[in-house]
Chains A and B, each alone.
Chain A
C-alpha cells in the first residue's frame, strides 16, 4: 500500500491521506537521498505539517506505514522535536525567544505585548478567534538581533513591544 489510500479514521469520516499526488512525489524524491526509508522520517513529518498545519495520530500512522515503521515509533520521534505540532495551533503561530541573551534585552515584554494585542491571553493558548497562538521559545539563534520572533515561517529580528501592534495588523 503505497499512499495509505485504504486507511480509514476510526470515526465515520474518511481519512484523507497526505501522501498523494505532488506530496507523494516529493517524498519519493526525498527517499533517494538516504540509504533507508527511516531516515526520511523528519522530512516526511515536515511535509505533513506543511499540508495540514499539525500532525495527528492518524497522520503518524500514515507516515509509519509508508516508511515501514510502527505508529508508536513515529509518535516517539514526533514528541521529541518541539517544532512538530501534536495539536492544532492558531492560523498564526508566534514564537518569541526569551532565553537569557534576549531576556536581558526585554524579550518577556515582547511576549506579553503579543498576548495583549492578539487576544491570545495565555502563553500556549489559542485566541478565541482561532487566529493566534503565542509561545515563548528557547534560543532562536539570533541573539544579536534581540528580540527575534518567528511568525509561522517568517523570522523577524529586533522586535520591541512598540513594534508588536503593527506586526499583529500585518498578519491578522
Chain B
C-alpha cells in the first residue's frame, strides 16, 4: 500500500499531520499524540456550546456541497423526543477524489473522535459510518480502531457502528445512503422532509463527510478563531482542504492547503507540474461532477468555494483531475457520461434516459458517425437533465458535457468532420 508523499513546505498540515505514521493508527499512539482529549472535554460540554464553536469556525461540509456544518447540526431538534442518528459519509466515490480513504487509513481515531463529538453535539444515540464496499483496507483499519476505542470505553453512551456499502456511487448522496442503511435500494429521497426532521428510520438525522468530522477535534483544540484564520482569500471559506490531485501531473496525491490556495501553484509547485514536453489543457477541480476549466481559467483559480464559483465551476469534494495536451477530452467526457449512466439509480426519467443517451451520442461521435446537430442535441439533453431531478446525479453528468462542448468544441467537431480518426468501433 502506498505511503503519502513527503509534505511540501507550502502545505498546511492539519488533518494530514500524521499521514504516513503507522503508530498514529493505534489507540495508544493516538492518545500519545493528544488524541481523545477533546472528546473528553466535549462530552462535558453542553451540545449547544459545541455547535456554536463549530459555527464560529466557519467549517463547511467537505463532501461537496459546502454547507455550513454548525448550521446543519443546529437543525436537529434541541429537545430530544425521538432517537437521533448520525451518519458518517465514507462512501467516497466521486471520480478524482481519494481523501477520505487517506484519513481512514492513517488517522482512524481522528475520524472516530470527531464522529463522537458530533454525535454528542446533535444528541445522537447511534452512529453509522458508511464505508464504500471497495475500501477493504480502510475498513479493516477502521474496524480495528473502533474495537480498540470501544475497549478503552472512550465513547461513553455513544454507539458507533461500521456499515459496508456494496458498490453504488449514488449511496454517497445523503438520502440514498439512509435508504441503503435501512436495507433498501439506494434511491435518493425527495426533500423535504429534510434528514434533520425525518431521516434514518424516520428519525432526526445528520449526515457528515469524513473530512468534515476529522476537522472537528482540531477546531475544539485550537479554537474557532484559529480555524477561521486559516484563509487566504474569501472569509466565507475557512480552514484547510485536502485536495486529491490525479491525472497528468508529475506527483499526484493528497495535498492539504489553506482555503484560497492558487490552483496554479498546486499544479506547478506542489505537484511538480506536467510531464516533460507536455502542457496543461484542462482541469476538473472538484471531482467529476463539476464543470471543466480550460488552461487560462485553471491557472487563475483560487481554491475555495467562492474562488471556484467565480470561474464557473465548484470546489466540490476537492478532487482535482488534470488533463495535459495528450488527453482526448471527447473520449474522457464520454467515459464520465458512461460512469453516470452506470451509476444512475434510474428513478427519474431525465437521469435514466439522459445519462444513457448522452453516452450513446458521445460514443457515436467517437465512432466517426456523429452529426453537427449532435452537439446541440447534447446541450438540449443537458438542459433537460439540470435541476429537474430528485438528486444531482443527472446535473453532474451534464456539467462536463456542457462545459466540454463550450470550451473544447473543436475537439468534438474534429470527430464529426472526419479530421480526427474514430477511436471506437461503430
A-B contact pairs, 28 of them (CB 8 A): A35-B83, A36-B182, A40-B183, A42-B166, A42-B183, A45-B166, A69-B183, A77-B185, A81-B168, A82-B166, A84-B166, A100-B96, A100-B335, A100-B336, A101-B246, A104-B327, A137-B134, A138-B339, A139-B95, A141-B132, A142-B101, A143-B321, A144-B246, A144-B253, A145-B98, A146-B252, A155-B135, A158-B2
Note all chain B residues with C-beta closer than 8 A to A36.
182, 201
Whether a CB of chain B sits under 8 angstroms from the CB of A92 is: no
Task: State whether B182 touches A38 (Cβ < 8 A).
Answer: yes
Task: State whether A98 touches B335 (Cβ < 8 A).
Answer: yes
Bound-state Cα–Cα, A159 to B194, Å: 42
By beta carbon, the residue of chain B nearest A144 is B252
By beta carbon, the residue of chain B nearest A49 is B166
Whether a CB of chain A sits under 8 angstroms from the CB of B1 is: yes
Task: State whether A100 touches B288 (Cβ < 8 A).
Answer: yes
Output the residue of B2, B246, B248, B254 with the most chain A CB within 10 A. Answer: B246
Whether a CB of chain A sits under 8 angstroms from the CB of B332 is: yes
Task: State whether A35 touches B201 (Cβ < 8 A).
Answer: yes
Bound-state Cα–Cα, A19 to B182, Å: 21
B136 touches which of A101, A144, A154 (Cβ 8 Å): A154
How many whole Å from B91's CB to the nearest CB in chain A? 9
Residues of A within 8 A of B (CB): 33, 35-36, 38-43, 45-46, 67, 69, 76-77, 80-84, 95, 98-101, 103-105, 137-146, 150, 153-155, 157-158
How many whole Å from B254's CB to the nearest CB in chain A? 7
Note all chain B residues with C-beta closer than 8 A to A158.
2
Whether a CB of chain A sits under 8 angstroms from the CB of B191 is: no
Residues of B within 8 A of A (CB): 1-2, 83, 92-98, 101, 126, 132-137, 159, 161, 163-169, 180-186, 201, 244-248, 252-254, 288, 319, 321, 323, 326-327, 331-332, 335-336, 339, 342-343, 345
Task: State whether B97 touches A80 (Cβ < 8 A).
Answer: no
Bound-state Cα–Cα, A137 to B343, Å: 11
B321 touches which of A43, A46, A81, A101 (Cβ 8 Å): A101
Task: State whether A104 touches B323 (Cβ < 8 A).
Answer: yes
How many whole Å from B230's CB to the nearest CB in chain A? 23
How many whole Å from A168's CB to the nearest CB in chain B? 20
Bound-state Cα–Cα, A45 to B163, Å: 12
Bound-state Cα–Cα, A158 to B98, Å: 14
Bound-state Cα–Cα, A36 to B202, Å: 12
Note all chain A residues with C-beta closer than 8 A to B180.
42
B254 touches which of A98, A105, A137, A144 (Cβ 8 Å): A144
- Nearest 5 CB-CB pairings of A with B: A41-B183, A83-B167, A81-B166, A143-B246, A82-B167
A100 touches which of B252, B326, B332 (Cβ 8 Å): B332
Bound-state Cα–Cα, A145 to B254, Å: 10
How many whole Å from A86's CB to the nearest CB in chain B? 12
Task: State whether A155 touches B134 (Cβ < 8 A).
Answer: yes
B98 touches which of A41, A83, A98, A141 (Cβ 8 Å): A141
Task: State whether A144 touches B244 (Cβ < 8 A).
Answer: yes
Task: State whether B96 touches A101 (Cβ < 8 A).
Answer: yes
Bound-state Cα–Cα, A98 to B161, Å: 32
By beta carbon, the residue of chain B nearest A80 is B185
Task: State whether B96 touches A143 (Cβ < 8 A).
Answer: yes
Bound-state Cα–Cα, A80 to B343, Å: 10
How many whole Å from A81's CB to the nearest CB in chain B? 4
How many whole Å from B292's CB to the nearest CB in chain A? 11
Task: State whether B248 touches A104 (Cβ < 8 A).
Answer: yes
Note all chain A residues with C-beta closer than 8 A to B182.
36, 38-39
Task: State whether B335 touches A103 (Cβ < 8 A).
Answer: yes
Note all chain B residues with C-beta closer than 8 A to A98.
335
Note all chain A residues with C-beta closer than 8 A to B95.
99-101, 138-139, 143
Note all chain A residues with C-beta closer than 8 A to B331.
103
Note all chain B residues with C-beta closer than 8 A to A39.
181-183, 201
Bound-state Cα–Cα, A95 to B167, Å: 12
Bound-state Cα–Cα, A36 to B101, Å: 29
Output the residue of A42, A84, A139 with the most chain B CB within 10 A. Answer: A139
Note all chain B residues with C-beta closer than 8 A to A155.
1, 134-137
How many whole Å from B331's CB to the nearest CB in chain A? 8
Bound-state Cα–Cα, A24 to B98, Å: 35
Bound-state Cα–Cα, A7 to B264, Å: 64
Note all chain A residues with C-beta closer than 8 A to B181.
39, 42
Note all chain B residues with C-beta closer than 8 A to A104.
247-248, 323, 326-327, 332
Bound-state Cα–Cα, A67 to B182, Å: 12
Note all chain A residues with C-beta closer than 8 A to B248.
104-105
Bound-state Cα–Cα, A45 to B183, Å: 10
By beta carbon, the residue of chain B nearest A156 is B1
Bound-state Cα–Cα, A95 to B164, Å: 18
Task: State whether B169 touches A138 (Cβ < 8 A).
Answer: yes
How many whole Å from A26's CB to the nearest CB in chain B? 13
Bound-state Cα–Cα, A90 to B343, Å: 24
Note all chain A residues with C-beta closer than 8 A to B201.
35-36, 39
Bound-state Cα–Cα, A142 to B136, Å: 12
Note all chain A residues with C-beta closer than 8 A to B133.
81, 83
Note all chain B residues with C-beta closer than 8 A to A146.
246, 252
